């Protein structure tokens, strides 16, 4: 468990917001920190995806068809077996955001989503 100390202005703001939402300040602080950490992880994965695109020509020339692991904008590992690569990445990077993507002829896969939702306006 980790204890965190906030400065006085942050504490007042946190307590006031928590009261206005009828919740405990510690719970609000935990939710805010989790949200911020998700934002940081998402930004890190975006950087790794950009790095994959930049590295793609080299990856395609050297490890086509394999899965590449990109961390801190560098290729850190690769394997033809995605599960083996994932296992090594989890052991080595322990929860850090590491992009694992198959090296195919297309650097950025196109994802098509089909939806059965139909919006009908009443009026």
Q: What is the pLDDT of residues 31-77, one digit of tens each?
A: 999 999 999 999 999 999 999 999 999 999 999 999 999 999 999 99
Say what the pLDDT of residue 121 is: 67
The answer to whether the beta carbons of residues 78 and 69 sit under 8 Å apart is yes
Q: What is the pTM of this model?
A: 0.77
Residue 123: pLDDT above 60? Answer: no
Q: Is residue 2 part of a domain?
A: no
Give yes or no for a contact between 102 and 65, defined as CB atoms under 8 angstroms apart. yes
Q: Do the domain assignments include residue 121?
A: no
* pLDDT surpassing 80 at residue 120: no
With respect to residue 17, please indicate whether it lies within any of the assigned structural domains.
Answer: yes
Structural domain includes residue 29: yes
Which among 93, 91, 58, 65 is positioned nearest to 79, based on CA atoms? 65
Look at residue 89 and tell me if it is in a domain: yes
Tell me the three state secondary structure of residue 22.
coil
* 5, pLDDT greater than 70: yes
From residue 99, alpha-carbon distances to 22, 60, 90, 106, 109 in Å are 39, 16, 11, 16, 14
Query: Domain span at residue 82?
Result: 8-102
Residue 88 domain-assigned? yes
Residue 92 lies in a domain: yes
Label residue 22 left, alpha or beta by phi (over 0 means left) and psi (-120 to 50 means alpha): left
Report residue 122's pLDDT band, with 50, 70 and 90 as the boundaries.
low
Q: What's the structural domain count of the chain?
A: 1
73 contacts 96 by C-beta, under 8 angstroms: no
């Amino acid at each position: 468990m980790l204890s965190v100390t906030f400065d006085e202005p942050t504490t007042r703001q946190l307590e006031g917001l928590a009261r206005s939402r009828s919740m405990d300040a510690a719970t609000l602080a935990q939710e805010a920190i989790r949200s911020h950490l998700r934002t940081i992880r998402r930004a890190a994965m975006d950087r790794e995806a950009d790095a994959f695109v930049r590295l793609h020509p080299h990856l395609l020339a050297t490890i086509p068809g394999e899965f590449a692991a990109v961390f801190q904008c560098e290729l850190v590992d690769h394997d033809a077996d995605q599960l083996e690569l994932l296992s090594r990445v989890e052991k080595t990077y322990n929860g850090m955001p590491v992009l694992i993507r198959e090296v195919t002829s297309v650097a950025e896969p196109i994802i098509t989503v089909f939806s059965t939702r139909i919006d009908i306006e009443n009026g």
